[in-house]
Structure 1
Amino acid sequence: MRAHTRTWLRCGLLGLFAVPWIGIPLWMLLVNSFKSQGDSSVLSLDLPTNWDLVQNYRTVIDRGSYVTGLTNSLLVAVPTILAVLLFGSMAAWSYARSSSRSLRVAYYCTTLSVVLPPAIIPTVYVLTQLGLNGSRLGYLLTITGTRLGVVVFLATGFIRTLPVDFEEAAAIDGAGKWQIYWRMILPLLSPVLVTASVMLIISVWNDFFFALFLLQGPGRSTLPLTLFQFASTSTHGVAWNLVFAHVVLSSLPLLVAYAFLQRRVLSGLTEGGVTG
């Protein structure tokens, strides 16, 4: 059997495996967002008998605080992702080029944030003492701190594979630390940072846990919070058609971001996973 035939066979088998886990839930989400409330209460895979597509999505936008949630999510996600990429890549460069034991300990502590559960009570206490509890700034700082580990882990492993000679030559020519980082390290890290960006977009955009405790007032709710509030306000059961429509609209920015970044995700993830 030829190599390309085996490749197509593996892709076909993976596609068949993915259909029940990805295709069916996605179809259920879309088709039920087009139905009336009565039809969607059955949660079937059938096509709608009565198409309420425009009405459902218009209701979500008008009554589901979608625009408010979208605005707040963008105000949190964009600066958070930029800050995490900037400070995370800076820290990764320091960790990768230093032999200090204290920085090695700091590296392991930073990367542990990827797997450790969030400590909400100490976080609320610290933000209260700083006068930031319930504010958008306090939430932004918390999300930034808890997401740094992803960028540090990916970027540190990649930088360790890069030769130091170019940095030393630039330093001999008179380049400062900032110039070396900005003109040499950051461009080389671009595939890794693209991969980290996709992971951060998904993580930050879908965050519900911290948003529930740290954001106060409906005017500051992000999309996951507006979805929760919209789904829990009904007194006659959950209107699944509207909930699914809200989920579709909330996921659209993620799909747009992934469409722009997906070409470089796999290469960046492979390069960032090298720990030599």
Structure 2
Amino acid sequence: MSLRLFNWRRIGKEALLLVLVLVVVIPFLMIVVNSFKDVTEAGRFKLTLPKELDFSNFEAVFADGKIWRGYMNSALISVGALIVTNLFASLAAFSIQRNGTRLTNFLYYFFIVGLVMPVSLIPTIKLMMNLGIHNTYQGMIVYYSAVLLPFTIFLMTGYLKTIPRELDESGIIDGCGPLRLFIKIMLPLMQPVMITASLLTIISVWNDFMGPFYLLTDGAKWTVTVSVYNYVGKYSSDWNLIFADILVVILPVIVLYFLLQEYIVEGMTAGALKG
């Protein structure tokens, strides 16, 4: 009886996982097959293979040069957000985890609240205008850093719990101050979680559409994801070009994810067993 129940549970779990896989895979297949179709075929939104491979869609996407500009903008904002987020998150996580005072514990939970708080764009736009950073690269870097800091601090704090405090004591005996202890001892040991945080930051910033669409009014500063909007008209849309553009946009982060996915898993699970 228990064996049958186990089998049914296993089958149910595998069926659920298969459904979840299809939820992810089918939209991606839709993008791939329709990016090689002409405008009429792509407008039907079917998973059927194209009658003839049409590579002119990709030529058209790269022809006007906007996507190259979008790549540069996305890279600049992604790298800037990565540096700022990792720097301040690692310092905050080190102070929170190693001190363990009431103040640092309060700050930790204060940051955790940011994981569930939604981003309100209208007050954000107003604040950025008052600070003079609206429609600027610096403003976008600060925006993404603020959005991504809570999760990054949570991730790094959990990882630091796996690093023995005896290493801190050894460093202090050798004459290390707090900053030198952090730079010389903690940062090298935090490499896995730093790589994880970096990848998640790049993927989050690169794939975001709403942020740059509303916070950047200058089309020359738009990121590569917003380039999809170039092919959407009031009365009609070039779906073949939209699908081709989407594929070109998401391909770099997909390749990056598959190349470095082992670091993501390592960094995400390192602090799961302690604290």
TM-score between both structures, scaled by the size of structure 2: 0.88
Q: Which sections of structure 2, spanning at least 5 residues, go unmatched? A: 4-10
- Checking the alignment, whether the CA contact within 8 Å between 2:161 and 2:271 is kept in structure 1 is no
TM-aligned CA deviation for residue 224 of structure 1 = 1.9
1:13-67 Cα shifts (integer Å, max 9, x gaps): 6774455223322221111000000111111111111321x20001111247211
TM-aligned CA deviation for residue 122 of structure 1 = 2.9
1:240-259 Cα shifts (integer Å, max 9, x gaps): 11111000000122023213
Indicate the RMSD between aligned Cα atoms, in angstroms.
Answer: 2.3
TM-aligned CA deviation for residue 180 of structure 1 = 1.4
Q: Once structures 1 and 2 are overlaid, which stretch shifts more, 242-251 or 61-70?
A: 61-70
TM-aligned CA deviation for residue 176 of structure 1 = 2.2
TM-aligned CA deviation for residue 209 of structure 1 = 2.1
CA distance 1:220–1:38, change in 2 (3 Å): same
- Checking the alignment, whether the CA contact within 8 Å between 2:135 and 2:217 is kept in structure 1 is yes
* Equivalent residue runs for 1:208-247 within 5 Å: 208-228=209-229, 230-232=230-232, 234=233, 236-247=235-246
Amino acid at match of 2:85: V
- Which residue is 1:146 aligned to? 147
- Which residue is 1:5 aligned to? none
Distance 1:224 1:268 in 2: 27
Amino acid at match of 1:258: Y
Distance 2:244 2:128 in 1: 35
1:211-233 Cα shifts (integer Å, max 9, x gaps): 122212111001122212x132x
- Which residue is 2:249 aligned to? 250
Distance 1:74 1:160 in 2: 32
Number of equivalences = 267
TM-score between both structures, scaled by the size of structure 1: 0.88
Distance 2:26 2:124 in 1: 39
Distance 1:84 1:216 in 2: 24
1:130-188 Cα shifts (integer Å, max 9, x gaps): 21111111111111111111110011122123221111111111112222112211122
Matched residue of 2:270: which SS? helix
Distance 1:16 1:120 in 2: 36
2:252 is the counterpart of 1:259 = no
Distance 2:274 2:96 in 1: 12
Identity %: 33
